[in-house]
A and B are shown apart, each in its own frame.
Chain A
């Protein structure tokens, strides 16, 4: 391709990609990547057809791109209207966050009660078991509970898990303060008592991060399940 024509083609593609970026980029926080990619491909195909139609009518490539974009509409408006429709099928932000918070409490309360019982048993047994169990409690239970919360949650991000974890962590902190820490202090396990006091502080970020990962896994699993189901339906036809 001659250099001038190639430059024109590159400019046209850059202009088109810039328009598509302006439509799709604002959707990043709400719409999964695969769906954004699909929308972008669809809009690109339509715009390419419009550009070709304008070139056939006699426009230069630059004029055709400009005309096609004018005919398509403001990228902000196109993206905004599409996002509004997308959000209609998603659960409302606060409702889903509260739903996730309820799931979070259901996951965390058993975990924290178990941790409390385990701590009490370890204190009864001896100091070496106490240390190991406290480290386990600090890491394993919030991660597991956060992961389960995120996977069951309807929110895409970990915000709901954070909400659930905050409530559960506060409750567990009170339980721990009332029961476990005095026992540790009485048994003179001061380092472990200090660790138990800060345990709930660690639980919050670990659980929220695990909740966000759980949410991502859930979306991935749902997409994979959807593809599997449609492949199965096609094979059965």
Chain B
């Protein structure tokens, strides 16, 4: 669904920062951790993780370094102090935003609540309020 994809795309940097809070990880491990924590609910095209990683690295919120792991060189990302601060800000922002959205949406709309009002026959116009 396009809306879900857009929501995930916009929040990918925050998810990356949250995952890296626990320790340095490479791109593949970041994708797996996001899937695991979200119970498979958040799955994106994994190649799109790399533009987000590049943007975060450019902003100084993470830094990458090449390390050898199981005989293979991999680029691992670590959260910087600025990244920690950004994560705190984004978490607070997300909490405020999601609370506001929930207030507007209200309870889950699985039942249509019918409001009382005059029944109109087809073609008739409601009388103006006096």
Contacts and interface: CB of A to CB of B under 8 A. Distances in A.
Contacts of B45: 71-74, 77-78
Given A45-B74, A73-B45, A84 B51 contact: yes
Contact of A78 (B31, B47, B75): B47
B126 to A, nearest CB: 51
Nearest to A39: B50
Nearest to B75: A42
B28 A82 contact: no
Interface string B38-79: 000000011110110011001000000000000011110000
Contacts of B48: 73, 77-78, 81
Contacts of B58: 85, 88-89
Nearest to B58: A89
A46 B27 contact: yes
Number of contact residues on A: which range applies?
Answer: 20 to 34
Given A73-B45, A73-B47, A85 B54 contact: yes
Interface string A11-38: 0000000000001000000000000001
B90 interface: no
Interface string A58-90: 000000000000011111011001101110110
Q: Is the interface of A mostly helix, strand, loop or mixed?
A: helix
A82 B73 contact: no
A49 interface: yes
A43 interface: yes
A49 B28 contact: yes
Nearest to A49: B28
B86 to A, nearest CB: 17
Given A38-B75, A50-B28, A89-B58, A43 B51 contact: no
25 contacts: A38-B75, A41-B73, A42-B26, A42-B27, A43-B47, A45-B27, A46-B31, A48-B72, A49-B28, A50-B46, A71-B46, A73-B47, A74-B45, A77-B45, A77-B48, A78-B45, A78-B47, A78-B48, A78-B51, A81-B48, A82-B51, A85-B51, A85-B55, A85-B58, A88-B55
9 closest A-B pairs by CB:
A73-B45, A78-B47, A73-B47, A81-B51, A49-B28, A72-B47, A85-B51, A46-B28, A85-B54
Interface of B: 26-28, 31, 45-48, 50-51, 54-55, 58, 72-75
Given A45-B75, A46-B27, A75-B47, 17 more contacts: A41-B73, A42-B75, A45-B26, A45-B28, A45-B72, A46-B28, A48-B72, A50-B46, A71-B45, A72-B45, A72-B46, A73-B46, A74-B47, A77-B48, A81-B48, A82-B54, A89-B58
